[in-house]
Amino acid sequence: MYFFTSDTHFGSEEILKRENRPFNSMEEFENSIIDIWNSQAEKTDIIYVLGDFVNYNKNHKEKWRESLKLAKRINAKLILILGNNEQRIIDECCSGNFEEFKEICVNSGFFDVKFDDFIEFNDKKFYLNHFPRNFKQNYINLFGHTHRTTGLWKPFGMNMGCDLNHFYLFSQEEIERLLKDKTLYWDSDKDNNLLGKTSSVIENIEQYRDPILAKNILEEDFIGFYPREFFVFDNFSSFGLIMDGEFYPTVEHAYQSGKFVDSAPEIADQIKKCLSAHDAQKIAFANRDRQAPNWDEIKVEYMEKLLRKKLEQNPYVKQKLLQTKDFIICEDSPKDSFWGIGENRDGQNALGKLWMKLREELK
C-alpha cells in the first residue's frame, strides 16, 4: 500500500504558527505525527514524503540532522522526494552532493531518497514531485510545496500537504476515492464551475481571460483592454532591456531578433527597430527559413537569459514577481502550447516555468 504526505517541516516551531497547527510544541507535533503514521501504515507499506520533511532556511539551520532521524521511528518504508528545504541542505551542507545527502538520510532511517518518481496503482499513472510547476502531462500529479495556500485540487493533480488531511497520510485508497468523487460530483457541480462551464475546459478562452470582466461579458457585448495585474511577465509588455550592449523595447523584440543574430544579422537589426512587439514577431515568422538552425535547441536557454535581464534591469518586474509568492505562474495563452498552456490548457507553460525558476532564486 502506498501512502503520501508532504511539508511537515520538522525541526522548527515557526511552522506551527505559520500554518496554525494545533500543537503546543514541535515535540508534541512530531510525536503526534509519528503515532498517526504508524497507526495507518505497516512495515510492508511505503510512505512517500513529497518534500520538506525537515525545515532548513536562513533562520533555522541547526536541527535538520536530528529531525531526519525521526524516520527511524516510522514503521513503514519512508521514501523522501526532495523539496526546496532538502535542496538547500544539499547545496549548503553537502557541497551540492546529492549522494552524500542520500547516505545521511538512509543512515537516519529512510528507505530511499529521490528527486521525483513515477508509480502506478488502480490502473492509473502518477507522477510524484515536490513542485507543482514540474507537473507532467498524461499523469495524475501528486505534489507539495504550496501548503494550504492553493488547496487540494489542481487541473493536473492533487496537493499532498499534511495540513490538508488533518495530518493523516493520504492512502492510495483515499486518493482513489477522491478522484472518483471528483469525477462523479464536483466536476459537474454548478457551484464548482466557472460561469456554468467545467473548470478544466473553458470554451472560448479568449472571452474569459479576465474574470473581473466575465460578468459583464455575459450581459452585453464588451471588449476589455486594460492589462491585468501581472501583465509584466508577458513578453509583449513594455519593459525594455539591454542585451549584449543592444537595447530592445521588449523581451519579444530581443527574443525574435536573437533568432537571426548570427544567421541573418540584417533581419535581427530590422526586428530590433520595430515599433511594436507584434511587428517584431511578424517579421521573424516571415523569415523562419533564415533563423539559426539550432534555434529550437537553444531557445529556452536564450529566453531565460532575456528574462534575467528584464528582471535585473526593471525593479518593478522584480516587485511583481515576489508578489506571486508560491502561486503557479501561467502563460495562459490559448494560442501557444509550448510557452503557454494552449487551447486545451494542457500545454508545457515553458515561459511560466522560467519565471517560477527565477522567483525561486530570489527567495
Query: Same CATH fold, 231-362 and 2-184?
Result: no
pLDDT at 184: 81
pLDDT at site 199:
40
Q: Are 89 and 56 in contact (CB under 8 A)?
A: yes
- Residue with cell string 529531525: 67
- Alpha-carbon distance of 50 to 141, in angstroms, equals 11
Q: What is the dihedral of CA 292, 298, 303, 305, to 10 degrees?
A: -110
* pTM of the model as a whole: 0.57
Q: How far is CA 353 from CA 14, 109, 207, 238, 322, in A?
A: 29, 34, 24, 21, 15
Distance CA 175, CA 171 (A): 6
C-alpha cell at 164: 490538508
Query: Contact 161/21 with Cβ under 8 angstroms?
Result: no
What is the rounded CA–CA span in Å between residue 141 and residue 125? 9
Predicted local confidence at residue 7, as pLDDT: 97
Q: Tell me the torsion sign for CA atoms 286, 347, 235, 308.
A: negative
Q: Does domain 2-184 have CATH number 3.60.21.10?
A: yes
User: Using CA atoms, how far apart are residues 135 and 6, in angstroms rounded to an integer?
Assistant: 16
Tell me, rounded to whole angstroms, the distance of Cα 266 from its chain centroid.
39
> Which triple of cell numbers denotes residue 359?
522567483
Q: 231-362 falls under which CATH superfamily? A: YbiA-like (1.10.357.40)
Radius of gyration over every alpha carbon of the chain, rounded to an integer in angstroms: 23
* Distance separating alpha carbons of residues 266 and 262, to the nearest angstrom: 10
Walk along the chain (363 residues) and give the pLDDT tens digit of each residue.
Answer: 999 999 999 998 889 999 999 999 999 999 999 999 999 999 999 999 999 999 998 777 888 999 999 999 999 999 999 999 999 999 999 999 999 999 999 999 999 999 999 999 999 999 999 999 888 988 999 999 999 988 898 888 999 999 999 999 999 999 999 999 888 877 666 666 543 443 443 333 333 344 444 444 444 445 556 677 889 999 999 999 999 999 999 999 999 999 999 999 999 999 999 999 999 999 999 999 999 999 999 999 999 999 999 999 999 999 999 998 888 899 988 888 899 988 777 889 999 999 999 999 998
Backbone φ, ψ for residue 3 (5° rounding): -130, 155
Alpha carbon separation from 180 to 144, 186, 229, 247, 266 (Å, rounded): 21, 10, 36, 54, 58
Distance of CA 332 to the CA centre of its chain: 14
The grid cell for 230 is 501581472
Sheet holding 170-171, edge to edge: 112-114, 77-81, 46-49, 2-5, 170-171
Domain boundaries of the chain, sorted by first residue: 2-184, 187-219, 231-362
Dump strand ranges (E) for 227-326.
Answer: 241-243, 246-248
Task: Check residue 186 and give its pLDDT.
Answer: 74
Q: What is the longest distance spanned by two Cα atoms in the chain?
A: 70
DSSP 8-state assignment for residue 87: H
Burial class (CB in 10 A: 0-12, 13-18, 19+), 232: buried
Chain-centroid distance, C-alpha 157? 12
